[in-house]
Each structure stands twice: as structure tokens, then as C-alpha cells.
Amino acid sequence: MQEKKEKRYNCHKRIRAKIKGTEDRPRFSVFRSNKHISGQLINDDKRTTLVSISDLELKKGKTPTNKVNLAYKVGQLIAQKALKKKIKKVVFDRGGYRYHGRVKAMAEGAKKEGLEF
């Protein structure tokens, strides 16, 4: 299991060497664990988090039971928060994970709400 984490970490380092979040175009970072998913919009110039959300913040009554649908909903909510702060364009940081499943669903949810990648 440790080898798998190291591979993801190394992949994430290669990704982070190429992308950078600015005030005009922050970095949309995704973190996925076995049970939960979270996302942040980060300004790397000032080293600040502009917007963050996790599936733990959703109300327990109306949350989807499927993890992919939950990730889609989290993507929509982070996009809504970003649009309230007048952020429309972001750079997507998949965090070393493959772009499929929950990571893809989160990105598509954010795109559907109006974020541009």
C-alpha cells in the first residue's frame, strides 16, 4: 500500500511542477480518500485557500448515497461558492489521481455550474 501512495505522491509532484494557481486563475485541487472527497481553490502566489468544500459539509438528509454522485454534487457546490467570489476560470489539479470516477465527476459538476478549466 505504501508503494501506491508514493506513486501518487510522485505523480502529484510532476503535476505541481507544471501548474500554478494565481489570483486570476486559482488552482482547483482535489483530494480523494476511500470514504470522502474534498476540493479547494488555491492562490499559490499568496499561499492562501480561497474556497474549500468537503462532502462532510453537505447536509446528511439529502446527500446521494453513491460516492460518484456525491463527488458531482461537491463539484457543483465548490463552483457555486467560487462564482459568488467572482472566480470563473481555474486550473485543475487532479492531485495525482487518474481522471476518471470521482475525480472526473467532481470536475464535471464544477464545469456544469460554470467554472472554466
Mean pLDDT, the chain, as a whole number?
A: 92
What Å distances lie between residue 39 and 1, 62, 73, 103, CA to CA?
Answer: 24, 20, 12, 10
Residues in contact with 63: Cβ distance below 8 Å, sequence separation at least 6, in sequence order: 55, 70, 73
Reported CATH class of domain 2-113: alpha beta
- Euclidean distance between CA atoms 40 and 32, whole angstroms: 12
The three-state secondary structure class of 49 is strand
> Which pLDDT value is given to residue 68?
94
> Which pLDDT value is given to residue 2?
78
Please give the share of the chain, as a percent, with pLDDT higher than 70.
97
> Which pLDDT value is given to residue 108?
96
- Euclidean distance between CA atoms 18 and 64, whole angstroms: 34
Among 16-20, 56-60, 88-92, the minimum mean pLDDT is found in 56-60
> Which pLDDT value is given to residue 61?
66
What are the pLDDT digits (tens) for 62-100? 777 789 999 999 999 999 999 999 999 999 999 999 999
Q: What is the pTM of this model?
A: 0.88
What Å distances lie between residue 23 and 49, 61, 75, 86, 92, CA to CA?
Answer: 11, 35, 20, 11, 14
Question: For 56, which DSSP code?
Answer: G
Domain boundaries, the chain: 2-113
- Give phi and psi for 93, each to the nearest 5: -115, 105
Residue 39's pLDDT band, with cuts at 50, 70 and 90, is: very high
Cβ atoms of 88 and 114 within 8 Å: the answer is: yes
> Which pLDDT value is given to residue 58?
82
